[in-house]
Amino acid sequence: MTFVLLKTMIPRVINNIPKLVEIGESSLNGVYELLPHTEASGSVFDIVCNYNSGIDDICVMLLFFLCGFDQDQFDKAVLLPKIFQYIPAGASTKQFLHYMQGVKSGEFRQYDYYNETLNQEIMTLPKITTPIAMFYSENDWLVSVLDVERLADQIPNSEKHLLEYKLFNHIDYLFAKDAYNILYVDIINILNYYNGLGNVSTTTTTTTTTTTTKAPPTVTTALPDSTSPDLTTDVSPTTPGAASAVFSSMQWVLGIVTLVIVKMLT
Q: pLDDT digit string (tens) for 183-224? A: 999 999 999 998 988 788 766 433 343 444 444 555 555 556
Closest CA to 170 of 142, 134, 198, 204: 142
The answer to whether residue 245 is domain-embedded is no
Closest CA to 18 of 100, 113, 119: 100
The dihedrals phi and psi of 51, each to the nearest 5 degrees, come to -60, -25
CB atoms within 10 A of CB 161: 23
Q: How far is 232 from 78, CA to CA, in rounded Å?
A: 7
pLDDT of 239 higher than 50: no
The answer to whether residue 197 is domain-embedded is yes
> What pLDDT is recorded for position 45?
80
> What pLDDT is recorded for position 232?
40
Give the helix/strand (H/E) hosting 77. Answer: helix 76-83
185 within 8 A of 161, measured Cβ to Cβ: no
Return mean pLDDT, the chain.
75
The answer to whether residue 170 is domain-embedded is yes
The answer to whether residue 116 is domain-embedded is no
> What pLDDT is recorded for position 188?
95
User: pLDDT confidence of 84, banded at 50, 70, 90?
Assistant: confident
Closest CA to 141 of 176, 167, 121: 167
Report the DSSP pairing between strands 91-92 and 33-34: antiparallel
Domain count, the chain: 1
69 within 8 A of 168, measured Cβ to Cβ: no
> What pLDDT is recorded for position 208?
44
The answer to whether residue 140 is domain-embedded is yes
* Per-residue CA distances from 249 to 59, 201, 255 (Å): 14, 40, 10
Over residues 252-259, mean pLDDT: 48
The answer to which of 23-27, 128-132, 146-150 has the lowest mean pLDDT is 23-27
Give me the percent of the chain exceeding a pLDDT of 90.
Answer: 31
CB atoms within 10 A of CB 120: 10
The answer to whether residue 214 is domain-embedded is yes
User: pLDDT confidence of 22, banded at 50, 70, 90?
Assistant: low
The answer to whether residue 100 is domain-embedded is no
Query: pTM here?
Result: 0.68
> What pLDDT is recorded for position 21?
63
181 within 8 A of 226, measured Cβ to Cβ: no
Range of the domain at 169: 125-228
